[in-house]
Amino acid sequence: MALLTFPHFPSNFHSLSRSPNNRFSPSPRRYSTTTATSSSTAILWFKHDLRTDDHPGLLAASEFRSLVPIYIFDHRILSRFSDEMLELVLSALKDLRKSLQERGSDLMIRFGNAENVIQQLAIEVKATCVFAEQEVEHELLFVMDVVNKHLKSMKVPQDIPRIELWKTPFYDVKVQTLASSYDDFEKLRLQVTTPLQLSTLPGAEMELDWGNLPGYDDIKGFMANNRRKSQDDWNMIKETSAETLLGREMLKSRESGERSYGFRQIKSEESNKSVFVTQKGNVVGGGTYSVLNALSAYLRYLEGTARDDWQEVHDKLRASENRNGASFNALFGSALSLGIISRRRVHYEAIKYEKERKAGFLSPFGYSAATIAAAVEAVCSKEVLTITVMPY
């Protein structure tokens, strides 16, 4: 039985800001099944954790009697993405919905501000808990703060829904014991935790409108409308300045690009088995198992292949290896950023393959293939960075 740990909001929580007085407790705790849990409804809010594999939030939410997973097209979140990232999001959501359905659940799709959508859904399904991945970026912390305030303002006969933050712990260590420098951190030689497995999920106990997956042009239209509204609001409260004029010119340039871009269609996964699902075709995408397949091809580069899909990965690897190890982040960085695959899963698969190559032996002097080293070093360095900036 895996130990599931969560940092949680204390009862006097007010904000997710970096102010020391408002930080939530980093103390880990076991998430236990209670009578209330087994007879109530949970919402799981997907943001950039677009997978069912190695997902602590889903594992905890599976203990509830009823579960409603949701993805919200919120312009504040989408505005952080490039056009290629938007393509990857749509492809990942298609696979995520299928994966959830195979496990007895589904994926609700909504447009709007997350705080309004989640509040309305919580009222509709009488949710007692909202699961969401812990954030470190300022913009996303702000969105989480607003969502929490909206939930606390609800006037409902049942208890106000609480937010449970989750993360995927990479190392088996408490935050308080971390070293102050990277060199000291490496000396700890911490063990990486094992990825979590998920079998079945509870469904929703009422008829719900799950919504349709939008197309790429739908998302671009939604974003353009919200940009125009934001610009109108800005002009009403601020006098024209050089910065404003520059912003208008940039907006015109973007909208012009969108018009020429509007007829672009995302590649069909059914007709094209390539793991490079965007129009540019430079980054790995699709669902979790598509990315895992590409990772297997990447790690086994030295073996060669007769498979067309693996050969494509090998070709892209060579094209993007402008310095030692650069190809991994170039090909898989976007999938990791969207949480299509976890850093912990990448590390697990890389070490597993290394052991296969070395008859179960891990050398203290390095890895037997450059691709293994690139994958391990990439996810480990990202995890150290995450720990460093975590707002505890």
Tens digit of each residue's pLDDT (9 = 90 or more) over 85-123 = 999 999 999 999 999 999 999 999 999 999 999 999 999
305: number of Cβ within 10 Å? 15
Inter-CA distances, 222 with 92, 214, 215, 338, Å: 19, 10, 11, 20
Angle, vertex CA 270, rays to CA 265 and CA 273, nearest 5: 95
**Predicted local distance difference test score (pLDDT) of residue 53:** 96
Tokens of 215: 């197309």
**Predicted TM-score of the model (pTM):** 0.78
Once rounded to an integer, what is the mean pLDDT over residues 23-42? 51
Q: How confident is the model at residue 194 (pLDDT cuts 50, 70, 90)?
A: confident
What share of the chain has pLDDT > 90, as a percent? 57
pLDDT at 171 over 80: no
Strand partners, 103: none
**Predicted local distance difference test score (pLDDT) of residue 229:** 61
Q: 264: part of which helix (H) or strand (E)?
A: none
pLDDT at 33 over 50: no
**Predicted local distance difference test score (pLDDT) of residue 392:** 37
Alpha helices in the chain (DSSP H): 35-38, 56-61, 75-78, 83-102, 114-125, 138-152, 182-187, 216-237, 242-261, 288-299, 308-320, 326-337, 343-357, 370-389
Residue 392 CA to residue 389 CA, distance in Å, equals 9
Once rounded to an integer, what is the mean pLDDT over residues 227-233? 57
Tokens of 153: 């303002």
Among the ranges given (224-228, 254-258, 384-388), the one the predictor scored with the smallest mean pLDDT? 254-258
pLDDT at 19 over 90: no
Please check whether the domain covering 20-175 is classified as CATH 3.40.190.10.
no
- The total number of residues shown for the chain amounts to 392
Among the ranges given (225-234, 293-302, 336-345), the one the predictor scored with the smallest mean pLDDT? 225-234
Average of per-residue pLDDT values in the chain: 80
Q: How confident is the model at residue 185 (pLDDT cuts 50, 70, 90)?
A: low
Nearest alpha-carbon partner for 145 in 384, 336, 391: 391
Residue 391 CA to residue 20 CA, distance in Å, equals 9
**Predicted local distance difference test score (pLDDT) of residue 177:** 58
Nearest alpha-carbon partner for 109 in 129, 133, 92, 134: 92
Percent helix / strand / coil, the chain, rounded to 5: 50, 10, 40
Between 305 and 19, the more confident residue is 305
| Residue 255 backbone dihedrals phi, psi, to 5 degrees | -65, -35
**Predicted local distance difference test score (pLDDT) of residue 363:** 83
